[in-house]
Chains A and B, each alone.
Chain A
Amino acid sequence: AQSVDQPDAHVTLYEGASLELRCSYSYSAAPYLFWYVQYPGQSLQFLLKYITGDAVVKGTKGFEAEFRKSNSSFNLKKSPAHWSDSAKYFCALEGLGGGSAKLIFGEGTKLTVSS
């Protein structure tokens, strides 16, 4: 089965702190992983992806993520966090089969950064 788990529904921290949003996946093949952000009232925006190669991938808005095959994780990181990072973050896995590349999303982590 293919699935994505984001175990933290809410994360709250102060501006200037380091943030790490957790994502784990279940997949039988080499995973293609993505992070998206959804600001209030807006649609999903692409942050970064892991396809192959270096385990640490850098994306937009100063974010990076680390792929760890050993524990099937793809955690999103940023330091320091800024109040404007407050949003909902979704981790996604590209689904296998069927001739398409549909995304399988986690249920998201709502990040609140206090100033």
Chain B
Amino acid sequence: NSKVIQTPRYLVKGQGQKAKMRCIPEKGHPVVFWYQQNKNNEFKFLINFQNQEVLQQIDMTEKRFSAECPSNSPCSLEIQSSEAGDSALYLCASSPWGYYAEQFFGPGTRLTVL
């Protein structure tokens, strides 16, 4: 079973508000991924890190999204100004190495933007 921790489990925000969620990867996993799973079960890769460095990211949705994985602190994903279309399950995953490795997923943060 995965030991990836995500907080909070649920997040409710109004449009225009900031939304921040955190992820603690499994111990010993230097690679962290963020995905967005919408209500139609479509997954969208957002960003990933190896240790503190960004490996790849999408256009980060008009720059409203930001993420970081500081040393000795949880990783975080923040939406600067939430929109209704951001309502989704945000999944954090970690893996022991970058390629060919299974990713271990956390329970997700379900964001609802009213």
B99 touches A49 (CB 8 A): no
A101 touches B91 (CB 8 A): no
Tell me whether A88 and B105 are in contact in the complex, defined as CB-CB below 8 angstroms, given that A32-B100, A101-B99, A101-B100 are known contacts.
no
B48 touches A100 (CB 8 A): yes
Q: How many residues of B contact A (CB 8 A)?
A: 27
A98 touches B55 (CB 8 A): yes
B91 touches A43 (CB 8 A): yes
Q: How many residues of A contact B (CB 8 A)?
A: 24
Counting CB contacts under 8 A, is B2 at the interface?
Answer: yes
Counting CB contacts under 8 A, is B33 at the interface?
Answer: yes
| B residues adjacent to A (C-beta < 8 A) | 1-2, 31, 33, 35, 40-43, 45, 48, 55-56, 91, 93, 95, 98-108
